[in-house]
Amino acid sequence: MGGGWVIYFNETAAGFIQSEWTNTIAHELSHIAFPYRNRIQTLTWMKIRENSTSGGVNIYRLADELRQNNHCSAGVTHERHNPENVYVCGAEQY
């Protein structure tokens, strides 16, 4: 955890309206904060992701495609039932 993190800036997602910008920044900063505050949960989901495939083939789906997780985003850390997903998406609500 920690070092080696890369944050991609997506101008389309960020938008140019102040509230959209604020929501996007809150979302991305929450991705940085969550692993440091919740190390066990973060490590648990790292192992779940690691074991969800075998030889590049999905053993089971984590349902992390956009709108399949019932939240704000998709991909790693936005899997269904992942507490980081709930935390990060909740940060956008302020």
pLDDT in tens, 43-55: 999 998 888 887 7
For the question of whether the overall pTM of this predicted structure is more than 0.85, the answer is: no
pLDDT in tens, 66-93: 555 556 787 788 887 889 988 988 887 7
Helix (H, G, I), strand (E, B) or coil at 53: strand
Say whether pLDDT at 12 is over 70. Answer: no
- The pLDDT value given to residue 5: 61
Which amino acid, residue 93?
Answer: Q
**Whole-number average pLDDT of the chain:** 77
The angle at the Cα of 39, spanning 33 to 40, to the nearest 5 degrees, equals 145
- The pLDDT value given to residue 33: 93
